[in-house]
Structure 1
Amino acid sequence: MGRDGVLPDDYTMATIFKLSGELKDLASGKLIHGKGIRIGFVSDVVVANSLMAMYCRYVHMGSSLIDMYCRSKKVVIGRRVFDQMENRNVYVWTAMINGYVQNGAPEDALVLLREMQMKDGIRPNKVSLVSVLPACGLLAGLIGGKQVHGFSIKMELNGDVSLCNALIDMYSKCGSLDYARRAFETGSYFKDAVTWSSMISAYGLHGKGEEAVITYYQMLQHGFKPDMITVVGVLSACSKSGLVDEGISIYKSLMTEYEIKPTVEICACVVDMLSRSGQLDQALEFIKEMPLDPGPSVWGSLLTASVMHGNSRTRDLAYRHLLELEPENPSNYISLSNTYASDRRWDVVTEVRTMMKERGLRKVPGCSWITISGKTHSFSVADKAHPSSSLIYEMLDDLVSIMTDGCGDIDILT
């Protein structure tokens, strides 16, 4: 196009931004971004204080820019684009909401959904609701999820398959398998392969392996072929429920009946299934015969089960491979240190800690949430920022004391 002397218009640029986001190619996105100013794409270039502000004059380009930066893990820049846009439609708001969800900021996504309606008076559409439901799942916010569900019913969107799929996933992650099942069993929409896979994964998440297997075979009877997501879901369910024979049977049928080639994710499920059941040698043999190189998820599955079953031979082997594959992952070193500390191998613990220090590795503290009376409270390790932190730690001390003393009959709430 450039060789022929044809200049791109705003729609061409928007498409390129979208592709840059999908490919997570931020460098190319910025290159094209700069190209626009060099060819005089906007007439008042001198007045514009940044490239983003310039392109944000075009709503569809602004949403594409937000999507590109958020997909490239540059959500702060994406928000800057969002804030500089004067005329924001539902697609722009949805792009920013989706960006927050993709980058692990579910609270910001829910706040933005409320602002979207209260500030600009814009009603969310189907895509907005589908984008925000994972935020409810991440926060285990059942009340918020129900509100989104109720809003979709008012908008007569509850028959949309993509929305119903998102509802199944949200309800299962919020701990309500019953609501997930209701969303699945409603007869107001056509179930696609994602619908079946979502319900299979929901059963697996709640330890209902038999129901997951039954749903898997029902899916096949309805003429749907399994894909990688379906297979990982049903094999994970079999693993958590100890259904080894059923899981192995499903795995073998992939190549013979559906011509599905094993992936690292699928193989990790098989290793997890075998090793959880105590068949560590069989799991190790499976790893050796894998048609592709075992990744961290494979060795991680073997490691977890080896620790659980007290097999130091396979445990040390798994650790060795994990450190080779992920030398910069602090979680591996922390796990290794804790394992040897429980064995009182203090010399090894010191060695591991020294390795971490030399490599400059430090584990980012984890964070958890709980929703009480509609308000979400977040906590990280050793966090004392909560206004009721003193009471929380007092309660934790009481619980630890009760568990240590074995006095489970004491009423700690009195």
Structure 2
Amino acid sequence: MPDAGLSRQSTIYRAGTLGRRPVVPADFAELERRARKVSSAEAWAYVAGGAGEGRTMRRNREAFDRWAIVPRMAAGAVDRDLSAELLGTRLPSPLLLAPVGAGALMGRDSDLAIAAGAAATGTPYIFSNQGCNPMEECAAAMGDTPRWFQLYWSSDERLVDSLIRRAEAIGAGALVVTLDTTVLGWRPQDLNLGSLPFAKGLGIAQYTSDPVFREIAAERARQPRERPKVTPGAIRALIAMSRNHPGPFWANLRSPAPRASVETFLDIYSNPGLSWEHLATLRRRTSLPVVLKGILDPEDARRAFDLGVDAIVVSNHGGRQVDNAVASLDALTAIRAELGPEPTLLFDSGIRTGADVFTALALGADAVLLGRPHLYGFALAGAHGVAEVIRNVIAELDLTMALAGTRTIADITRQTLTETPR
């Protein structure tokens, strides 16, 4: 995308002369502030919250502050090439949209809107296993734009295979297995509200659209069960489940299927016993490139590549799983130093701006995943808001490259940074 930064600036400034200001702010702080203003307390707790005291979230950002970009003058970097090769596919930029579960907390049909916004910019989107729209619908919304699929390893192996088959059928470019959420972390913001979106049927669309899961849930619905005590809260929960379940609302309200689906999901969505032995079976279960997400330790990274995976995502889940965990950027630096230049490393957790993307690339990432910011854009302006956030991040990356004297992504190396005093 040549001159992405200058073109973006020109578009915004020209509109400004006509009295039109951007719906989506150009800086993250204002983007976050406005998104919070339009979000419910439950939505904000889930999307913006972190584990424990929030130390991992803060540490993710502090890690970026320990590095500074060193601009180089008179480099003549007039034409920049932001494209990047990733798992055999040439992408317009080294940016992908991270999977974010239960996005419908911020607005209906969240995954469809995010898919459309990603497609508008040619940016790959990793469909969330905890999404609110089936992967087939999201794939249709993306057209030819690359899409990957995130897999949470269920405790039911039949369901694992079914989800993999569906990912293959939609033309996913990779299978991204999330390792760090075999159990939910301690998330006080959600706990203080007693709010878990999945318990109301939000974020389980990949399951309720899956034939194997429906068989499991239907069997559960046929089993005798104790009727819940009728309270206003129970009625509200049943209404939410019925509204979020596929099919007509009034039929769902009279059916055991919505509650059975929620209870089945909560029982089997993840496997607390996930092991390297499970992961070793992936090569015979799929022909898709395999990416392991949630790696923070160099030894785990080496073991992953020894298994034959195609890439890893260095990530602490945006600080949402373990409080006081290592910053993802520090883990990236350590893993790249340990494994050398060859393995494909993606980076996630803490990316907010184009300058952040530049820093992560300089420290060894081959590409980065953008999480909360694109969901904030969705909250403000739907698919258009997602696309605007992407355009802003890429524009800043392009301008940073120009001012740092780098023409290509390959030119962004450790030599473009300096470590700042602690």
TM-score (normalizing by structure 1): 0.24
- Higher RCO (Cα < 8 Å, 6 or more apart): 2
Given the two structures, how large is their TM-score scaled by the length of structure 2? 0.24
Structure with greater helix share of residues: 1
Q: Which has the larger radius of gyration?
A: 1
